[in-house]
A and B are shown apart, each in its own frame.
Chain A
Amino acid sequence: MPSIRTLSVGMLGLLLIVAGVALWVLADSTSVVVSMPLASTGFLWAPLIWFLGIIVILSAALANTLPLKDYLAWLLVLVVGYLAVFVILVSVTSAILP
């Protein structure tokens, strides 16, 4: 029987996933009417919430086997690491791209 901690982490992950997908579906900006084409729409970061949900739900495995502090450290590493990849790539390339 998985611990309360594991179950709650799993639930949190699932919640994020569902929230991400729901926001995504609701804000589908494919056929939005924009007469000024360069205006941005659907500015919701829904995919990011979905990805965070995936990371959290998978981290339930770590929640089940690690002490709390160490689990939180790992979760932080995974989330920050994932975003850091984007940040590094974007900042390096935007400095070089004309």
Chain B
Amino acid sequence: MKKGYNMSAKEESLLQPLLKTGKGFYAFVGVLLVLTVWFLYCWYNQLSQGLVVTGMRSIYNAPNYMAYGVAGGSPWGIYITTFIFWIGISHAGIAISASVRLMNLNKYKVVARMAEVLTLVALPMAALSIVFDVGRPDRLFNLLEFGRFQAPMLWDLSAITTYFMATIIYLYLSLRGDIDELALRIPRREWFYKRLAMHYEGTETDKERHKQTLWWLAIAIVPIMVTVHSVVSFVFGLMIARAGWYSTIFAIYFVVGAIVSGVAAVYSLAWIFRWLYKWQSLITDEVLKGISWALRNVLIIYIYLWIAEELTTTYMGPSAEIRVSDFLWNGPYAPIFWPLAVIGFGIPAIILLKPVFVKKTFSPKLTFIASIILNVAFWVKRFTIIVPSLLNPPLYQTGIYIPTVTEASIILGTFWLAVLLYVVFVKIFPIIELDVVEA
């Protein structure tokens, strides 16, 4: 059954990325590698010169001739913002996979795997963002040796470890059948796929056992997903000292935000793959419409929570809270805040809500633009949550925070690495489950 195995046209279409690799791909990877080298160089500079190469500074204020440029700013900046962003993106994987598996929404099976791989790639990038942020990454073992269970950061590390391990096991088990099939379909890689399939039997009982195991794993992963972003939110929400952060709704606020940004990322990916590989028959308009429907609903919930947050802090707020809100609404960060609200959230909301009121106006392409805007908007939103509170400490004057080029280059490194890892996966394994075409 090796040589001359005849694939159906549908199968061949699904396996395009594995069978053909054009010049465009190599050029794309080449550019990413160059950018990665620049990122590594900047990280080297940060390690050898210290975090002073970033725009972050200590909270306390002092005249500059005393502080020598290390005070009066925000101790956390775009590294932590990007950490939260990647955690948010990682929520897509299991939100979609679990829905498909637990609720039998087989229509969306076609995007399940691309969502799972997104999670698999996003979680290490989140961890990497933190490694960039700590002052002494050579002491990371202290976390394993002396870690304190009362510290929110250890809750983070535990939740992320659990989520990552669960996802990689889940992905492998759901991929295993496909790997075994690929050994037949791509003879030149047979040795690799056969090894990786690890004596997969492929019998009906075997398949049933996999299905059962994956079902239970999916059930276990859903609470893990909620826990992950909740503990990330507790890093901020439990801080009595920081006005603008100390809030009871942070856990649900962050979890809903993560689901929105994750689903938006999956929509973007689904649309890109559909366009790139001409998968209109696989990733149908119906599927995209369904994803956009979910996106719309969680976006509305998120905007509602956002309004509740803003109102609570400003209605009769303590002066510290008013100062933080004022900084965002009227102050130095107003040029970031208002475009964020109007363009970053307003436009996607309009695009997503229009098909509700005007029938038959769902446009996959327009929704794709909305999903891209939402992803950027969510990064900026996290920035506006983290930095203004730190720039407005109660006992001191307002500081400033401007990320440096080195800082931006380092954190962009996580994006280049994420894309590189993702495209390598796409070239080796099918990004859509094979049994979608084997009806």
Contacts and interface: CB of A to CB of B under 8 A. Distances in A.
A45 B50 CA distance: 28
Contact of B44 (A25, A73, A96): A96
Contact of A45 (B44, B144, B150, B210): B144
A90 B161 contact: no
A86 B149 contact: no
Interface in A24-75: 24-25, 28-30, 40, 42-48, 50-51, 54-55, 58-59, 61-62, 64-67, 70, 73-74
A20 to B, nearest CB: 9
A47, A50, A70, most chain B CB atoms within 10 A:
A47
Interface of B is mostly: helix
B99 to A, nearest CB: 19
A45 B146 CA distance: 7
B173 interface: yes
Given A65-B173, A90-B140, A30 B213 contact: no
Contact of B141 (A29, A82, A90, A97): A90
22 contacts: A21-B149, A47-B143, A47-B147, A50-B158, A55-B161, A58-B165, A61-B214, A62-B172, A62-B173, A65-B173, A66-B198, A70-B198, A74-B198, A86-B144, A89-B137, A89-B140, A93-B47, A93-B138, A96-B47, A97-B47, A97-B48, A98-B50
B137 to A, nearest CB: 4
Contacts, number: 106
Interface of A is mostly: helix
B141 to A, nearest CB: 6
B205 to A, nearest CB: 11
Contact of B136 (A30, A42, A55, A97): A97
A1 B319 CA distance: 60
A24 B162 contact: no
Interface residues of B, number: 43
B154 interface: yes
Nearest to A6: B213
B210 A70 contact: no
B149 A24 contact: yes
Contacts of A64: 209, 213
A15 interface: no
Nearest to A43: B145
B146 A90 contact: no
Nearest to B164: A82
A21, A50, A58, most chain B CB atoms within 10 A:
A58
A3 to B, nearest CB: 9
A43 to B, nearest CB: 7
A78 interface: yes
Interface string B141-182: 101111111100010011001100110111011001000000
